[in-house]
Structure 1
Amino acid sequence: MATHTLDNNATLHVCVTCGFPDEPRPGLILHDRIAALMTEDEPFALKPVTCLALCGDGCSAAATASGKWGYLLGRLSPDHADDLVAYARLYSAAATGTVMPSRRAPSLKDVVIGRIPGLEPAA
């Protein structure tokens, strides 16, 4: 499982533990598909996480960066990988982290579960 990191602090966290232990984990598949789509110069990092507490809502991810709103995304599947890469690029470029629904892929229209105030950048 690859972890991409860059100097930019925008990060897409993907839960890799959703699913049933005796089956391929959809979150891990989603993470790996995103990793395969990423280029070396992406403006965001990709990190696996062990639980985003959305177990009943399909795969989940979170977009975070210091000084920006953080977004919790649910109702995802491995088929959302392409659109999540595009979303993470938009999130990275947005001053506040806000990616309006009109700028998101249609498949991501209803995936925002919540948003969290960002931490202030370190001094």
Structure 2
Amino acid sequence: MRSPMRKKIPMPVELSVCTSCRLDRSGPYDAEKTDGKPFAALVETEVGEESAIAVRRIGCLLQCTLACSAGLTAPGKWSYAFAGLPPTAEGAALLTAFARLYAESEDGVVPFARWPQGIRAHFNARLPPMSK
């Protein structure tokens, strides 16, 4: 008798969202008037109670000219950096869709053909996992 198929449980990942990003950088910086904070809230709403994705608000990801930015990391997996994300519900949904694929992957490599339409324009870097 064969054992029942087990559902693959996604590995928990951390989705870091920059809260200091701002699209209009013409005036002085005001921590209360950023595009990053409302974008982080939209991402948190999109993720909801999903246990495979933990949203982490980060003060700055140093991609200021490419606001809004985010990163995906998990132990033993490749990491991704994204920039120029629109601070909208659509932008949050796009980022979260990629994060779900990333969480389901064994090593963090999401095949290019599976990337959600629109995320490619915001891909900034992929970094290898730490060596052992």
Alignment TM-score > 0.5, same fold: yes
* Cα distance between partner residues in 1 of 2:72 and 2:57: 12
Structure 1 gap segments, 5+ residues each: 1-7
Instruction: Quote the residue 1:116 is aligned against.
Output: 127
Query: What is the 5 A alignment of 1:1-123?
Result: 8-19=11-22, 20-21=29-30, 24-79=33-88, 80-119=91-130
* Cα distance between partner residues in 1 of 2:48 and 2:31: 32
Structure 1 counterpart of 2:45, which letter?
A: A
**TM-score under structure 2 length normalisation:** 0.77
Deviations 1:34-74 (A, max 9, x none): 11122323311110011111100120000000100001111
Structure 2 gap segments, 5+ residues each: 1-10, 23-28
Larger radius of gyration: 2
Report how many aligned residue pairs link the two structures: 114
Contact 1:42 1:89 in 2 (8 A): no
User: CA 1:75–1:100 in 2, change beyond 3 Å: closer, same or farther?
Assistant: farther
**TM-score under structure 1 length normalisation:** 0.82
Shift of 1:24: 3.0
* Cα distance between partner residues in 2 of 1:91 and 1:22: 31
* Cα distance between partner residues in 1 of 2:102 and 2:50: 15
Structure 2 counterpart of 1:17, which letter?
A: S
Question: Where in structure 1 do 4 or more consecutive aligned residues deviate above 3 Å?
Answer: none
Q: What's the Cα RMSD here?
A: 1.9
* Cα distance between partner residues in 2 of 1:72 and 1:39: 21
